[in-house]
Amino acid sequence: MRVELGDVGYWRHELVHCLHTTAGVMLAQRGLEPISVLGAGWGFHYPGDLRREEYYLPGYADSLFSGLAPHHDIHSRWHRPADAEEGWRQVRAELVAGNTVAVAADNFHLPFRPAYRDVHTNHLMVVHGFDDEAAEVLVADPVPPAFQGAIALEAFTAARDSGNPVKHDRDLFFTANPIGNRWLELDTSAPQPAFDPAFVRHVLAANVGGLTDPADPATSGLAGLSAFLTGAWDRIGAEPEVVDEVFIVVGPVLASTGLHAAFLDLAGRRFGDVRLRELGRRVDAVAHHWSALRIAVATARAGRSAAVPALRGRTARLIAEYEGVLEAMAAHLSGVSPTVRVPAFSRTSRC
């Protein structure tokens, strides 16, 4: 038997990793515009639930896509089969039913990944078909170098059943967490909001409120972000694991920031509003601060204490950029729709 689901194509944004890329491919295959969905949410939330996965999203272990798309009625569910045989049987049945799925995999066993036979890591990709006679599986993985096509079922199974061990000093960040044949089911069946000016105003107001007046300032919003980074720099000299923690946590924050910049730019172009495009430009500047900070942390492993002053300085600039763009968003909302209530903005203490 052979199954190949249609409308599976390439989607990627330069500041995202496999979680958002996989989500974008699956959403587009279901007729949704990835930027308008994945780019709507912008905030910070880290309750300390660190997981060594490239597709990690703080606070959303059970429904990753709910966290990716907080302004949409989209859900996902992890399936954790008992073994490789059951895992393939479940994925195959889902494909026969006409649904693409996302699977966790170890890049070490995937022939098209640069890490093949070299580095273990916890990756995510889309499966859109299979060929029983050829013993092949059809996968889509736009993460560079980008691959869409058939791989041997044997390699696919090895990647999904991997223990994802740490074997040498190149196995960084996303190891020491067995793959476990996990696969992700996506539900987009509910009606979704239209991408129109009213939705964009709703998104802006909700995001500004979430960052400036979070329900739990210790873990969320700009206050939680500042507390997380300040605490990390206080601990990093004595605790080498802080390098991995910050690198992993910052990944999805960087991705969502880059996507939100693209969301605002798309809205500005589509609705002829240059003010939204300017807000997008300012959010993009925040994203590049995150990118620099993440690189600085990743390269600080050997000289952690010496790196602290520079990390604190980068953090101060990052927080200042957030404060500026949030003030600009609040001003934009006040000018566009006086009925929108934006929480009072209070400056966060600098790191």
Domain ranges within the chain, ordered by starting residue: 2-187, 197-336
Long-range contacts: 87-96, Cβ < 8 Å, 24+?
Answer: 87/160, 87/161, 87/181, 87/182, 87/183, 88/153, 88/157, 88/160, 88/181, 90/183, 91/127, 91/183, 92/130, 94/183, 94/185, 95/3, 95/5, 95/127, 95/128, 95/129, 95/130, 96/1, 96/3
Q: Which CATH number fits domain 197-336: 1.20.120, 2.115.10, 3.10.450, 3.90.550?
A: 1.20.120
The DSSP secondary-structure symbol of 169 reads T
Q: Which CATH number fits domain 2-187: 3.90.70, 3.40.800, 3.20.20, 1.10.10?
A: 3.90.70
The H or E element that residue 194 is part of is none
Residue 170 neighbours by CB distance under 10 Å: 12
How high is the pLDDT of residue 70?
95
How far, in Å, CA of 76 to CA of 329, rounded? Answer: 31
Same CATH topology for 2-187 and 197-336: the answer is no
Mean pLDDT of successive 10-residue stretches along the chain, which has 351 residues: 96 94 97 98 95 90 90 96 97 98 96 91 96 98 96 98 77 79 95 97 97 96 97 96 95 97 98 97 97 94 94 97 97 67 34 30
Cis check: omega of the bond before 338, within 30 degrees of 0 = no
* Side-chain-side CA neighbours of residue 150 (13 Å): 13
Evaluate whether 315 touches 230 at the Cβ level (below 8 Å): yes
CA dihedral 283, 285, 288, 293 (to 10 degrees): -90
Residue 344 neighbours by CB distance under 10 Å: 7
* Amino acid (1-letter code) at residue 341: R
How high is the pLDDT of residue 214?
96
